[in-house]
A and B are shown apart, each in its own frame.
Chain A
Amino acid sequence: MKPEIKIFKLPLFLVAVLFVGMSFLPGSKKVVQDFSLKNVDGTSVSLKNYPNAKGFIVVFTCNHCPFAKLYPPRLNALNEKYAKLGVPLLAISSTDTITYEEDTYGLMVEKAQREKFNFPYLFDGEQRVAKDFGAQKTPHAFVIWKENKKWVVKYNGAIDDNGMEPEQVENRYVEQAVDALLAGKPVAVKETKSIGCQIIMRK
């Protein structure tokens, strides 16, 4: 029986690889799946909990990373501005808690309270959501938009172009993307790069 299983699995694997590869081709749409993750208040949060949301700002972040630490006030401001326009912000921590003890759930709860997060801070302990989004590092922001009942990635990358000096920011990439989408226009800058702490995937 065993060899048969192997023969069957290989083509399936190839199809999976092709499929994943294709989703990153220019012009093709990357779709992400809904999820259910534990928030710092103990509740479970899913995209479907927000029936009126037009889109979401999803930020992969964490407690320990110095680049991520620069952004909480800006995340609060983003959620303050866009949640009422139908684009709430969700922060997700997918960092391996074996490598970084600082990123364990209990300490996430503490951080969210201390820094007065006005948005959900979700624990992706199994790293499934990070894998589905293709989140590489913290902070790594995504703007997703509802199209034909699917969640399509419209922007991914940096929150803005200056982590260290908020007052020197020239391009607010996430805001620009959300503003364009709310106005029914295409997103001009769809992807940016920034330094961050790698989300190390558990093998």
Chain B
Amino acid sequence: MLLKRLLIFSCILFSHLDLPAQQVEVVNFKTLEKRFTQENDTTYIVNFFASWCAPCLKEIPDFQAFATQHQHEKMQLLFVSLDFKKELQTALLPVIEKYGITQPVFLLDEPNADKWINAIDRKWSGAIPATLFVNRKKKTHKLFSHSFTADTLLKTYKSI
């Protein structure tokens, strides 16, 4: 009986691991920052979103398409989810699946946003959607606190 339960339990456990769970890395800000502040000439596009943010979800397909079109360039798209950690399975993973997100997704686990929002940009209030463009070689570090369309995304990328 116990063995059976254990078997069912592990089935449930592993079936979850089969989902794109590995794709989401739960990180603190320090770890996340390292990911897009590497000293190279890659342009990092860091999109802050959450499963509960409707305008964020609306722009995901444009970001995805953009990343596919420019995948051979020195460009890396990173999705940073501000979902609540306890809702990773129930809210974030379904979004990743629905939109077929293939780019890296991080869940930022920092309860006190006041500590890291200023490190991204002092003028940012913390409202999402927001997208950060970083290119260390070009000394670019720009945050845009608004939604993007395919058109404005391309224009902004080209201006970097």
Contacts and interface: CB of A to CB of B under 8 A. Distances in A.
Interface of A: 65-66, 99-100, 136-137, 140, 157-158, 161-165, 168, 170, 192-200
The list of the 4 closest CB pairs from A to B, nearest first, reads A193-B117, A137-B127, A198-B127, A136-B125
Contacts of A66: 50, 52, 84
A63 to B, nearest CB: 12
A193 B52 contact: no
Interface in B54-93: 54-55, 82, 84
Interface stretch (B23-31, B32-40, B106-114): B106-114
Question: Do most interface residues of chain A lie in helix, strand or loop, or is the interface mixed?
Answer: loop
B117 to A, nearest CB: 4
6 contacts: A137-B125, A164-B84, A192-B114, A193-B117, A196-B125, A198-B128
Contacts of A165: 111
B125 A168 contact: no
Contact of B126 (A99, A162, A170, A193): A193
What class of interface size applies to chain B in its complex with A?
20 to 34
Contact of A194 (B54, B84, B114, B145): B114
Chain B's interface: helix, strand, loop or mixed, by majority? loop
A162 to B, nearest CB: 5
A165 B50 CA distance: 18
Interface in B110-136: 111-114, 117-118, 124-129
Given A99-B55, A193-B117, A140 B125 contact: yes
Contacts of B112: 161-162, 170
A161 B117 CA distance: 13
Contacts of B84: 66, 164
Nearest to A163: B111
B7 interface: no
Contacts of A137: 125-128
A193 B118 contact: yes
A197 B127 CA distance: 5
B130 to A, nearest CB: 8
Contacts of A65: 52
Identify which of A99, A162, A198, A200 gathers the most chain B CB atoms within 10 Å of its CB. A198
Most buried by A among B50, B53, B146: B53
